[in-house]
Structure 1
Amino acid sequence: MSGYKKRERRQVSFNTEDAVELELLRFIDRKDINFSGLVKNLLFAYCMGQLKADELSASPLLQAGGSNNPLPTPKAERSSSFQQIKASGMPFDF
């Protein structure tokens, strides 16, 4: 037994007074976004070395304050890294 329950939850807080965090909150509130699946895919990519912390902090959305930059690409335009993660067999429904 690993000491975990069948389902474990982790929380993410968003500061609605910060323009970037508010934009992210609006993005994840869209009907076509599965927040849990998105977070799991990003964590999996990070664990597999396909995403690095310095790349995250260098993201254009974070550098420019968020509101003038486009949101992440639609499903049809995702990278081959994303496709590799999807093909990994991990049970994500993002």
Structure 2
Amino acid sequence: MSYQKSDKAEVNVLIKISSKKISQLVLEPWGEEIQIKLNDEVRMCGVGPAANSFIELDCGEESICVTSWKDSTLSVSINGNTLDTASAVIPSL
């Protein structure tokens, strides 16, 4: 999907893992699970349409669920290493 500069938004999030209990990052709507550990630094960058551009974080006891906005993609790096994730634009239903 291609966007004009004014139509595109970028949202950045930094999470520092400070609990031994949290061991998983779940990327939605892709359903991807990424293992994380104590002291990891997780950086995420969502890119997509400007309308309703936000990243939702739902922190559970053992995992963090990350939900990106409609028609966006999400890149993830842990401790400076960019991961090859399944994040791709999912067309609206």
TM-score class, shorter-chain normalisation, is under 0.3
Task: Compare the two structures and name the one with the higher helix fraction.
Answer: 1
TM-score with structure 2 length normalisation?
0.25
TM-score with structure 1 length normalisation?
0.24
Between Structure 1 and Structure 2, whose CA radius of gyration is higher? 1
Pick 1 or 2: higher relative contact order, CA cutoff 8 A, min separation 6.
Answer: 1
